[in-house]
Chain A
Amino acid sequence: MGTMTDRIATLIARAEQEGLLDVAYATVDSPVGMLTLAATPKGLVRVSYSDTDRVLEELAGEISPRVLAAPARLDGVRRELDEYFSGRRRDFDVAIDWSLVHTPFRRAVLERTARIPYGQTATYRDMAEAAGNRAAVRAAGTALGANPIPVVVPCHRVLRSGGDMGQYAGGVERKRYLLELEQARP
């Protein structure tokens, strides 16, 4: 008979077999606070510093209301994040689902951002230029601010021209922490 936890684990396994698990999520502790992670069958779709309930509501509205706690589906990402935060990993090797990025320009900015090497930085202007519109510095900033997959898509590596920290969805303190972890130099 088992406990409710067992029952729900069985249910989630069956839901996954039947293709009914549209969004799996898990929470994970990290040196920059608790992160909420979410994946679709296509890949990692969300990493968030925000309140978990709000993140889940957003996912239910934007992707599918079939959102279930299925931490096993995020084991790979969790392991890579652990390694990253303990300084043993420089690159993430996980499939990304860009569903929450709604315009081609934003997608281009974030895909370019994903290629900034560990420990290095770039500027908002660099990202605008790489996305094909040198003048769209502010729009590039907005795209980075709306990055649905921070840390893994390292928007913390993008600074203002001149080395000023700029902004960060998780707060500038976290941005500084991540850059120091990577011993990044502008």
Chain B
Amino acid sequence: MSGRRSSGVTLPPFQTLLDEHADTVLRYLRAAVGTNEAEDCFQETFLSALRAYPKLRDASNLRGWLLTIAHRKALDAHRARGRRPVPVEQVAEVAVTDDRRAEPALWRAVRRLPAKQRSAVFLRFAADLDYVQIGQAIGCSDAAARQNVRAGLAQIRKGWAR
């Protein structure tokens, strides 16, 4: 049966996005904002995605689309936290160890990077996006995305070697 959608894009049932990408989105958010705040960001990410989904024009990279939304929610969380009197580390540190795939100290080091480098490194390594997708997510060229990843990694290595 053919879709009747005027945009001509065939969008898969939203449940497919949950089944295939919920783990990736959660992993990305845990790395980006810490385990606790990742929960709210996860809900906000998928609610925003659901709101926007019927009007989506390009279904070729749904994972990248979700991670771009997750990235914006993580930025919102960082901003909100900046306005709160609570120090960052105290909020983020609780029980990060339950995620065996993330090295908490390392992600904390990433969270201390300047905003663009931080985003680029997260999207590259927590979300596994390529440089073109990272560029789309943070609003720069793919070359600049690559440069931000490289600079971020150099910065982390410096701190690590000390």
Contacts and interface: CB of A to CB of B under 8 A. Distances in A.
Chain A, interface SS category: helix
A119 to B, nearest CB: 33
Given A15-B50, A20-B47, A60 B22 contact: no
A62 B1 contact: yes
Nearest to A18: B47
A61 B2 contact: yes
A57 interface: yes
A65 B53 contact: yes
Contact of B22 (A8, A18, A58): A8
Interface string B44-88: 001100110110000000000000000000000000000000000
Nearest to A70: B15
B54 A65 contact: yes
A66 to B, nearest CB: 5
Contact of B15 (A61, A64, A67): A67
A14 B44 CA distance: 10
Contact of A60 (B12, B35, B50): B12
Contacts, number: 72
A57 B43 contact: no
B51 A10 contact: no
B120 interface: no
A61 B10 CA distance: 7
Interface residues of A, number: 25
B39 A65 contact: no
B27 to A, nearest CB: 11
B43 A69 contact: no
Nearest to A65: B11
Given A1-B39, A4-B22, A56 B47 contact: no
A60 B16 CA distance: 11
A14 B45 CA distance: 12
A56 B13 contact: yes
B51 A61 contact: no
Interface string B12-41: 111110100011001000000001000100
Contacts of B16: 56
B138 to A, nearest CB: 26
12 contacts: A7-B22, A7-B26, A10-B43, A11-B46, A14-B43, A20-B50, A56-B15, A56-B16, A57-B13, A58-B1, A60-B12, A65-B14
Interface of A: 1, 4, 7-8, 10-11, 14-15, 18, 20, 23, 25, 56-62, 64-69
Given A14-B47, A18-B47, A23-B13, 5 more contacts: A11-B18, A65-B12, A66-B54, A67-B13, A67-B15
